[in-house]
Structure 1
Amino acid sequence: MVKEVALRLGEKVMPKAPKVLLSNGNYCIPQHYLTYEHTLASVEALICDIEYDPRYVVFAAQEANGLYIQVGVIGHDNYHKKSSPKKNEEKLLFGRKWRVEPELPTSEVIQSVFLAIKKSREHEVRELFKLTLNNSTTTPFNTHIDLPLMAEFYNKDELVGEQHLATNTEQEVNNTLTKINYDNSTLILSDVQQRPNGLWLVDIEVHQSERSTLPEMTDATLYLMVEDLSLNTLTRALIQEFVRLSDLHVDKHFNYRGFHRFDPSIDIADIADLSQQTRKHELAAHFASEFSKTNQKVDLMRIPPVQAGALAQKHKQVIEQYLQPSE
């Protein structure tokens, strides 16, 4: 006798959906045979089963426009004034809201939390990258820079570029590294070599201080491959590596009910095998019709309402280039 398969809050089995026998002898109902109507209670229940870093506090809330999740980060204000007497005080800082549609599969709700944490962490990473030029320290990769202003006034030909004063490659790289402070750490050149194809391999050690906070940078050595050794190229390669390492930290430590779904140590062949087990069987005719109708209904719910205007006209011109009207 097949045991009843437990469902989570917000889940419902499609009528006549089959139970699937897995290779481990257990039965399951895959997510593509479920329908969803998530509520604030069901989203909160999922968040309770998610663990990452306790400094990243995930909230769920509901407003007139629907459900959303929001990440609060416990940390220092990256833009405090040095003269402030409370500069070492930690705060709970909030990121953007991430909408959660009620019909999202449970797995996608969990992945929305995963992505929200990743982007909250990237936001912090970009603000922790400080560059000192002309006796002024800035955070050029932060997400608060006025993009409309740049689009209107940026003129590359009118700007003063970096001055090349280095006499050798090591000095050129060191000149750049001395201008950079990342998470209160210093960057030390370990090795630099040029490959026969013209690309440069640059090894950089990260030396943390007592004020450093990012665990992935502990005893870290960065291995960069760049086209040239200019300040612009090196700093962009560095921020890409810092974001990659931040994402990898979330991949390794984010878990749902103790399972680290995105950890690179999870064998991709095992993931593919489990996916295949839930999809390779034939659907009975009486369920195939229900399955098709339900999927079509969900697809229709995802179509956004379109109001007449400039944006609608822009989309119309693009879509007509690719989609031919049905006869």
Structure 2
Amino acid sequence: MTLHTLNLTPHGLGERVMPLAPTLTLRNGQRWVAQHYLRYQHTVESVSALLAQIDFDAHTPLFAGQDEQGVYVQVGLIGRENYDRSNTLRVHKLVYGRKWRIDADTPTSEIIQTAFLAIKKAREHEVRELLTVRSRDGKTSAAFSNHHDLPLLAQQRDQLQAGNHRVATLDVAAAVQHQLASLRFAQRAIELVQVLELSAGRVLIDVQLGAAPLARQLEGDFPEFEQLALCVLLPAARLHELPYALMDALIEHSDRHVDETFRFRGFARFSRSNQIQAIADLSLQTRPYAHDLADVQFEQIFRANNYEVDASRAPALGEGELGRKNRQLINQYENLLGHLPRGYEQTHETKMA
């Protein structure tokens, strides 16, 4: 009988099997305890052990730490300073993404997926800084970055709105070319390949990233974008959205790169080379709930554990205006199931029929 070490180890890796939990036999004969029949008590040591089994690339270290708020996962990125657009080679710099909090009862699979998502979002942060816009006075701005002053933008909203700008048929290619001339991605020009006008007022735009400056080529940052071809679809009446569509396409390319490169124990879980029907079949094999919960004693243990975990995740209602808004929103629903926020039951006014 073969048992997976991590799945059944009672100590040291943050997992233990529920009392009376059944062991299932997969169609290939392997024995297994499903993850939904485990209890979790993860620590910085167990999270560190999981991250050590993840492989991505040589520029993206993963960290597990603990502070006053608990355990967290954090992504590092080793690269060059995005805002230094000189023509000289730049030294490497290590920067860090946000801290992703890990509750002790977080299932192991969710911790791995948190690291996956953290890598995607850390890379997106960089990609947003690399698509730049040249202003009318010739200066360059990372207009898509996450470092803009949101209260200021909200105050200036009337100055930022764009209306519909219908472009005459003969001018579509020229309008696209005009916009592309002001855009760069990682100091690469974005070259127009073709514009196709489709039915229903839609426009298909093919572009390709040009070559990076020599110094950038030698640095080798984000090589997966080299000479990248992109295709975007826009309504002809909203050609001014072209930079947004390009940003979406660049982020999608980055995300797909992570899908295919991210590995846990050598397995590319999110790769599209995996057969989705095979994943569905394996998942169904691990969920014979009707059979497993026929054991009355285990059924009580299982449901009590789920209740305890779900209850522990309910947040506080909120203070001040936030609490008032949340209460008003929740009050719209009668007989709402689930665990209500802490403080809601004591403070809300019962709605009259």
Is the pair's TM-score, using the shorter chain for normalization, greater than 0.5? yes
Instruction: Please tell me the root mean square deviation across aligned C-alpha atoms, in Å.
Output: 2.6
Does the CA contact (< 8 Å) of 1:12 and 1:34 recur in 2? yes
Aligned counterpart, 1:182? 185
Answering whether residue 151 of structure 2 is matched by residue 148 of structure 1, we say yes
User: Which position in structure 1 is the counterpart of 2:201?
Assistant: 198
* Structure 1 residue runs without a partner (length 5+): none
Counterpart among 240, 243, 247 of residue 235 in structure 1: 243
Partner of 1:133: 135
Task: Identify, as 1 or 2, the structure richer in helix.
Answer: 2
Q: Is the 8 A contact 1:203 1:222 kept in 2?
A: yes
Matched letter for residue 95 of structure 1 = G
Letter matched to residue 60 of structure 2: Y
> Given residue 319 of structure 1, which amino acid in structure 2 is its aligned partner?
I
Aligned length: 323
Aligned to 2:326, the other structure's residue is in SS state helix
Q: Which residue of 1 aligns with 2:346?
A: none
Shift of 1:90: 1.1
Q: Provide the C-alpha distance between the structure 2 equivalents of 1:3 and 1:127, rounded to a whole number of angstroms.
A: 49
After alignment, is 74-83 or 62-71 more displaced?
74-83
* TM-score between the two structures when normalised by the length of structure 2: 0.85
Separation (CA, whole Å) in 2 of partners of 1:187 and 1:157: 24
* Aligned counterpart, 1:286: 297
Q: Which residue of 2 aligns with 1:94?
A: 96
Deviations 1:9-48 (A, max 9, x none): 0000000101111111101111100000001110100010
Counterpart code for 2:39: T
> Residues 130 and 280 of structure 1: is their aligned pair in 2 closer, same or farther, counting only changes over 3 Å?
same
> Which deviations, in whole Å up to 9, do the C-alpha atoms of 1:121-165 show, x marking residues without a partner?
000000000111211111111001111111122213899999x89
Gapped regions of structure 2 (runs ≥ 5)? 338-349
Counterpart CA distance in 2 for 1:158 and 1:110 is 40
Query: SS at the partner of 1:264?
Result: coil
Distance in 2, matches of 1:88 and 1:181, equals 19
- The residue identity in structure 1 corresponding to 2:178 is N
Aligned partner letter, 1:179: S
Show the counterpart of 2:108: 106
Secondary structure of the residue aligned to 2:278 is helix
Is it true that 1:266 corresponds to 2:274 in the alignment?
A: yes
Q: Residue 166 of structure 1 contacts residue 175 of structure 1 at CA under 8 Å; is this kept in 2?
A: no
Residue 5 of structure 2 corresponds to 6
Residue aligning to 2:123: 121
Indicate how the Cα distance of structure 1 residues 173 and 297 shifts in structure 2: closer, same or farther if over 3 A, else same: same
1:193 positional shift = 1.0
Q: Does the CA-based 8 Å contact 1:166-1:172 persist in structure 2?
A: no
Question: In structure 2, do the counterparts of structure 1 residues 17 and 231 end up closer, same or farther at CA, with 3 Å as the change threshold?
Answer: same
For residues 293-304 of structure 1, the aligned pairs below 5 Å read: 293-304=304-315
Distance in 1 of aligned mates of 2:113 and 2:336:
35
Whole-angstrom CA distance in 2 between matches of 1:124 and 1:311: 32
Partner SS for 2:307: helix
Counterpart of 1:25? Answer: 29
Q: Which residue of 2 aligns with 1:79?
A: 83
Match 2:71 to one of 67, 70, 87: 67
Question: TM-score, normalized by length of structure 1?
Answer: 0.91
Residue identity over aligned pairs, in percent, reads: 38
Q: 1:219 to 1:158 in 2, by over 3 A?
A: closer
Equivalent position to 2:326, from 277, 296, 315: 315
1:236-268 Cα deviation digits (max 9, x unpaired): 110000010000000110010000010111111
Aligned residue for 2:184, secondary structure, equals strand
- Give the equivalent residue in structure 2 for 1:35: 39
Please report how far the alpha carbon of residue 323 of structure 1 lies from its aligned counterpart in structure 2 after TM superposition. Answer: 3.4
The whole-number CA distance in structure 1 between the counterparts of 2:121 and 2:30 is 36
Rounded to whole Å, the distance in 2 between the matches of 1:194 and 1:221 is 19
Using a 3 Å threshold, how does the CA distance of structure 1 residues 136 and 295 change in structure 2: closer, same or farther? same
Q: Which amino acid aligns with 2:258?
A: V
Find the counterpart in structure 1 of residue 19 from structure 2. 15
Q: Give the stretch that moved more between structures: 164-173 or 291-300.
A: 164-173
Equivalence for 1:53: 57
Query: Is the contact made by 1:40 and 1:60 (CA closer than 8 Å) also made in structure 2?
Result: yes
Contact 1:173 1:229 in 2 (8 A): no
**Distance in 1, Cα, partners of 2:243 & 2:20:** 57
| CA distance, structure 1, for counterparts of residue 150 and residue 111 of structure 2 | 31
Tell me whether 149-158 or 128-137 shows the greater mean CA deviation.
149-158
Q: Which deviations, in whole Å up to 9, do the C-alpha atoms of 1:202-241 show, x marking residues without a partner? A: 1112223241532332342111111127663110110000
